[in-house]
């Protein structure tokens, strides 16, 4: 199964170089290239994408704004000649940050990381079809975790902490990836660092959600969706 890639960059040469590099990897397929985020929005609305490479400096909508605006985003790699936005990128859940000009050697490292993540996603996807639980790799063991036991999931860069009522599980997953595999009627992402179980919400106070004894922030870019789904009665 090939990884479907979307390349977004207003520099045609940068797209040409990246596309040429990707031709060396048979499991990665470039299905669309565009020079601005607006065209990318139109494409992902109608097509399924596994991986997006996106530049930061682009006309109309920059790369960071584009990432913030996507609901249930695929895996994302930022490509930029500017190192200054790396922290912001990782806070938004991107899986890697490549500095231009991108070398083939550096891209290989990034694609290995993508492959490992997608393998984990496939395992989760298979187990989540059982409807009431998933299996998570923790300390070389596959641990069964029931959806009903999950309070919330917290991102720690390349890892996540799955908080349950009786134990915490630390596992090597990306928050965006694991959120996409959880049932949408049970879970919702409320922040770049948090996905929560909707039925575990005790209260909503201003821009925070209370679960168990914790107060979790609702991210500015998530407020409208979160309050619309929860308060307006779509879910509860």
- Give one DSSP letter per residue of 33-71, joined into a string: EESSHHHHHHHHHHS--SEEEEESS-SSS-HHHHHHH-S
The enclosing H or E element of 31 equals strand 28-34
For 131-230, CATH gives 2.40.50.1020
Q: Output the pLDDT for position 26.
A: 87
Beta bridge partners of 189: 195
Q: Output the pLDDT for position 123.
A: 55
Query: Rounded to whole angstroms, how far apart are CA atoms 157 and 94?
Result: 9
Tell me the two tokens of residue 183: 């049932």
Q: Output the pLDDT for position 225.
A: 79
How many other CB atoms are there within 10 angstroms of residue 76's CB atom?
A: 25
The tens place of each residue's pLDDT in the chain, 236 residues long, gives 788 999 999 999 999 999 999 999 988 999 999 999 999 998 988 888 989 999 999 988 999 999 988 877 888 999 999 888 888 888 888 889 999 999 999 999 899 888 877 776 555 555 444 467 888 888 888 888 999 999 999 998 778 999 998 899 999 888 888 887 788 888 999 998 999 999 999 988 878 999 988 999 998 878 877 877 776 544 43
Single pTM value for the model: 0.58
Which of helix, strand or coil describes residue 99? strand
Query: Rounded to whole angstroms, how far apart are CA atoms 23 and 109?
Result: 15
Task: Give the strand pairing for 3-8 and 51-55.
Answer: parallel
Angle between helices 12-22 and 104-128 (to 10 degrees): 70
The structural architecture, per CATH, of the domain 3-123 is 3-Layer(aba) Sandwich (3.40)
Annotated domain spans of the chain: 3-123, 131-230
């Amino acid at each position: 199964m090939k990884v479907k890639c979307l390349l977004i960059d207003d520099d045609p040469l940068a797209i040409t170089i990246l596309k040429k590099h990707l031709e060396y990897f048979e499991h990665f397929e470039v299905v669309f290239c565009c020079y601005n985020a607006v065209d990318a929005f139109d494409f992902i609305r109608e097509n399924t994408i596994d991986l997006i490479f996106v530049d930061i400096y682009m006309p109309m909508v920059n790369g960071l704004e584009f990432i913030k605006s996507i609901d249930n985003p695929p895996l994302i790699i930022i490509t930029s000649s500017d190192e200054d936005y790396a922290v912001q990128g990782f806070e938004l859940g991107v899986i890697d940050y490549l500095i231009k000009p991108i070398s083939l050697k550096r891209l290989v490292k990034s694609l290995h990381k993508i492959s490992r993540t997608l393998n984990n996603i496939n395992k989760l996807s298979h187990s989540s079809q059982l409807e009431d639980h998933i299996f998570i790799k923790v300390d070389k063991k596959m641990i069964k975790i029931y959806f009903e036991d999950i309070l919330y999931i917290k991102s720690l860069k390349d890892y996540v902490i799955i908080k349950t009522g009786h134990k915490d599980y630390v596992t090597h997953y990306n928050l965006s990836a694991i959120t996409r595999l959880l049932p949408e009627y049970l879970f919702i992402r409320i922040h770049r660092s948090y996905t929560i179980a909707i039925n575990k919400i005790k209260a909503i106070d201003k821009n925070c959600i209370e679960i168990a004894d914790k107060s979790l922030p609702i991210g500015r870019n998530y407020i409208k969706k979160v309050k619309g789904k929860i308060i307006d009665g779509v879910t509860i």
